[in-house]
Amino acid sequence: MLIDLRSDTVTRPTPGMKEAMFSAAVGDDVFGEDPTVNALEEKIARLFGMEAAIFCPSGTMTNQIAIRLHTGPQREVICHEHSHIYLYEGGGIMANSMASVKLLSGNLGKITVNQVAASINPDDVHAPDTALVSLENTMNKGGGSIYTLDEIKPIRRLCQEKGIKLHLDGARLFNALVETGESPAAWGAQFDTISICLSKGLGCPIGSVLLGSKVDIKRARKVRKVFGGGMRQAGFLAAAGIYALDNHVDRLKEDHARARTLGQMLEALPVVSEVFPVATNIVIARLEGISPESFMNKLAEKDIKSVKFGADLIRFVTHHDFVDEELEEFGRRIGKI
Ligand SMILES: *Cc1c(COP(=O)(O)O)cnc(C)c1O
């Protein structure tokens, strides 16, 4: 039995999800005529109390569209140095928007209002105009760490005072919400745009949504087209998204419980010097006396897949297809390493 913990993107659609996809009503979404895409966009916009949403093939696309909406040449985005938008989107901030980036450091991938305040450029001919602050929740590189609303609100107030837009890379926002019990609408109220992945913990094969105002999402449709993301009978994919919102949100708690146990199993290994606090479904372990490559090879010999996540770090992500049976098996196998 292969235990694949490289990412929560490795899941396959469940029979119920496939059934929903198979029976979806579809039309041409570039003409705005796919009823299932429209239903998904309306459903998730309503859930977050935001005006509109747009369905896209990937979270990279929804983030990059948001950056294009809010920035441009000689404008700047402020984000954490470990942000997905900076590290893992192929240099898209520059390539797609020709914008500048100011990177901040901070504990577990999070930045504070004071750091943001100190990073806003003066209105001066030398400096790019600070146009956007982008936050990530949960924070992948922070070990799935969570921002609470109380940390966000002062950042929102500051941005509003300064005329700066606020975007959330909420690829795993539902993982945060099921842990804190905060409502989607409370989060929707804090951001100009929010990107959410359906293809991570929610278990869809494809898809992300960008939420925002009617005006921004109308513009986003033009940007999506030029990025090559206008899809036709995409309702087959959107149906999976609707199914996931109805069936796969609450169960994220199970992924978190298994991640905590997995973290304890790793902590007990002599080669693990530290496990980042496990807040959601991501477990990052620091190794000592062995390289990530060698340790991953040993795991691979036992049919366990993980990813290198830094010079001395490896990452495991729990997901829908990793159930108690696999967790117990994981414990038995690493005991023999
Ligand atoms: C996965 C992910 C994305 C989007 O990735 P895609 O693979 O393009 O869908 C964005 N942000 C974070 C934090 C992610 O983990």
The C-alpha atoms of residue 87 and residue 90 are separated, in whole angstroms, by 7
Per DSSP, what are the bridge partners of residue 284? 315
The C-alpha atoms of residue 216 and residue 186 are separated, in whole angstroms, by 20
List the chain domain ranges: 3-8+251-334, 15-247
Q: Atom 14, ligand 1: which residue's CA is nearest?
A: 171
Q: Compute, in angstroms, the gap from residue 73 CA to the centroid of ligand 1.
A: 24
pLDDT tens for 85-102 read 999 999 999 999 999 999
Q: CB of 145 within 8 A of CB of 156?
A: no
Q: What does the angle CA 329 – CA 330 – CA 334 come to, to the nearest 5 degrees?
A: 120
The C-alpha atoms of residue 153 and residue 186 are separated, in whole angstroms, by 10
Q: Compute, in angstroms, the gap from residue 60 CA to the centroid of ligand 1.
A: 6
Q: Determine the 3-state secondary structure of 310 from DSSP.
A: strand
CATH class assigned to 3-8+251-334? alpha beta
Per the document, the length of the chain is 337
Which residues of the chain have a pLDDT value below 70?
none
pTM of the model: 0.97
Q: CB of 240 within 8 A of CB of 13?
A: yes
Predicted confidence at residue 337, as pLDDT, reads 83
Mutate to test the pocket of ligand 1, among 140, 199, 209, 284 (most ligand atoms within 8 A of CB): 140
Predicted confidence at residue 336, as pLDDT, reads 82
**Does ligand 1 have an atom closer than 6 angstroms to the CB of 138?**
no
Distances (CA, A) of 57 to 108, 140, 208: 28, 20, 6
pLDDT tens for 304-314 read 999 999 999 99
- How far from chain centre, in Å, is Cα 90? 16
Which CATH code is given to the segment(s) 15-247?
Answer: 3.40.640.10
Atom of ligand 1 nearest to the CA of 61: 8
Closest alpha carbon to 92 in 71, 120, 114: 71
Residues with Cβ within 8 Å of residue 248, at least 6 apart in sequence: 201, 202, 203, 320
**Does ligand 1 have an atom closer than 6 angstroms to the CB of 8?**
no
